[in-house]
């Protein structure tokens, strides 16, 4: 059985990003490995083709403002892709070029079926041979793990994340369930095609103003919404979907607010977020959980009940801090890499410039200082 000091699971934005940070530890190629179920950046390749990164890329790195979508302090997707809002395939290309440039040791087409604590580390069961690792960094993402439960008939709906193009969706009267970024992205593309779009959400995310972009629609989306013709969208807030019933002519959506169900000839589109890869049985038991379902992590993003198991990526939360954008979770790469280096007795001073470039968030009391101006 092959044995590694560090095994990274996932070669998306989080896996490639932590990989670049780990290279600063001067690990030798046979000391560590990144594995991915399919290929580098593959989740991004499955985005609807109209979908773009909602955080804008800009090559401000050299003047202290790192490209929001960069996963290392000195690269910029804006520069390499000549794009402000890269598409999914664009962004996958950026990740591939990083993997090549930083010579990351990546093995693709390896899917993890279980992670088992063992002597001096973990046995990681995969669809091919099992691997041994002293330390495991879980960097699998969210996009391939949509949240599909919550009401009866959800399985009749169309999952937003499985749509290859909004141009393939036929009909005139879509109902979209979920009014955060992915629901609004669907709504915008369908409304631009002239459909009468309704968006239902249990809250009113379109009205929320918060200094934290994880709790409010992005400026990019707000601008696109304003550019739609008046009345193109009907926003139905503070409304919970209770069930979806299929009949011959279409779909009835029952809510807690409408005395009669809403009707659509088209399958309702489900955009209710992501359960995330940490909900997978292969890994879920190795973490303690908060009341809201998120995993409990140490200040170095290690499992509190399974030492040696770290998490990077959009699943990381600390108290009220949500790390679900690239520009947020990348702030923790060097923190985790430093912990790995210390654990393995490797020099960590190569990580200093992550801190110098403002990409090293170890003070979790940060934040909420932006004023309303």
Q: Smaller CB distance to its own copies: residue 222 or 246?
A: 222
Contact 333, 359 (CB under 8 A): yes
Q: Smaller CB distance to its own copies: residue 5 or 185?
A: 185
d(CA 155, CA 148): 7
Q: Residue 211 CB, nearest distance to its own copies (Å)?
A: 6
Q: Smaller CB distance to its own copies: residue 212 or 300?
A: 212
Q: Smaller CB distance to its own copies: residue 101 or 289?
A: 101
Q: Smaller CB distance to its own copies: residue 99 or 200?
A: 99
Q: Smaller CB distance to its own copies: residue 198 or 332?
A: 332
Q: Residue 253 CB, nearest distance to its own copies (Å)?
A: 29
| Both structure tokens of 4 | 């590694």
Q: Residue 365 CB, nearest distance to its own copies (Å)?
A: 11
d(CA 77, CA 89): 12
By CB neighbour count within 10 A (0-12 exposed, 13-18 middle, 19+ buried), where does 149 fall?
exposed
Q: Residue 371 CB, nearest distance to its own copies (Å)?
A: 5
Q: Smaller CB distance to its own copies: residue 145 or 325?
A: 325
Helix count and strand count (H, E) for the chain: 9, 17
Q: Residue 285 CB, nearest distance to its own copies (Å)?
A: 31
137: β partners = 8, 310
Contact 122, 1 (CB under 8 A): no
Nearest Cα residue to 251 out of 198, 190, 189:
198
Q: Residue 56 CB, nearest distance to its own copies (Å)?
A: 3
Q: Smaller CB distance to its own copies: residue 68 or 295?
A: 68
Q: Residue 254 CB, nearest distance to its own copies (Å)?
A: 33
Q: Residue 134 CB, nearest distance to its own copies (Å)?
A: 29
| Ranges of H-type helices in the chain | 13-23, 42-45, 77-81, 88-101, 181-192, 219-226, 326-329, 333-344, 352-356
Contact 57, 76 (CB under 8 A): yes
d(CA 18, CA 16): 6
- Region of residue 39 (left: phi > 0; alpha: psi -120 to 50; beta: else): beta
Residues near its own copies, by CB under 8 A: 55-66, 68, 72, 74-76, 78-80, 82-85, 94, 97-98, 101, 209, 211-213, 218-220, 222-223, 325, 327-328, 331, 358-359, 361, 366-373
């Amino acid at each position: 059985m092959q044995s590694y000091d560090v095994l990274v699971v996932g070669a998306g934005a989080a896996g490639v990003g932590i990989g670049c940070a780990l290279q600063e530890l001067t690990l030798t190629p046979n000391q560590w490995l990144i594995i991915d179920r399919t290929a580098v950046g593959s989740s991004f390749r499955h985005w609807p083709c109209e979908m773009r990164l909602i955080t804008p890329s800009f090559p401000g790195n050299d003047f202290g403002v790192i490209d929001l979508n960069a996963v290392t302090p000195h690269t910029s997707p804006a520069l390499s892709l000549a794009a402000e809002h890269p598409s999914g395939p664009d962004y996958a290309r950026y990740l591939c070029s990083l993997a090549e440039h930083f010579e990351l040791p990546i093995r693709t087409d390896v899917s993890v079926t279980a992670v088992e604590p063992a002597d001096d580390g973990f046995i990681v069961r995969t669809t091919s041979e099992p691997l041994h690792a002293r330390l495991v960094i879980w960097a699998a993402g969210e996009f391939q793990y949509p949240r599909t439960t919550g009401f009866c008939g959800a399985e009749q709906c169309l999952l937003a994340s499985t749509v290859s193009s909004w141009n393939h969706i036929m009909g005139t009267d879509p109902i979209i369930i979920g009014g955060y970024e992915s629901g609004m992205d669907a709504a915008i593309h369908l409304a631009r095609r002239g459909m009468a779009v309704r968006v239902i959400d249990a809250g009113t995310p379109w009205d929320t103003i918060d200094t934290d972009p994880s709790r409010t629609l992005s400026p990019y989306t707000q601008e696109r919404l304003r550019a739609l013709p008046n009345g193109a969208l009907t926003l139905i807030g503070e409304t919970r979907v209770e069930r979806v019933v299929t009949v011959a002519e279409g779909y009835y959506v029952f809510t807690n607010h409408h005395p009669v169900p809403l009707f659509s000839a088209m399958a309702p589109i489900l955009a209710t977020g992501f359960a995330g890869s940490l909900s997978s049985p292969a890994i879920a038991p190795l973490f303690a959980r908060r009341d809201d379902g998120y995993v409990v992590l140490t200040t170095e993003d290690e499992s509190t009940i399974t030492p040696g198991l770290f998490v990077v990526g959009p699943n990381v939360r600390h108290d009220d801090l949500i790390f679900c954008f690239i520009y947020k979770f990348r702030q923790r790469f060097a923190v985790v890499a430093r912990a790995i280096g210390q654990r393995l007795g490797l020099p960590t001073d190569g990580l200093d410039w992550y801190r110098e470039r403002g990409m090293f968030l170890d003070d979790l009391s940060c934040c909420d200082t932006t004023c309303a101006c």
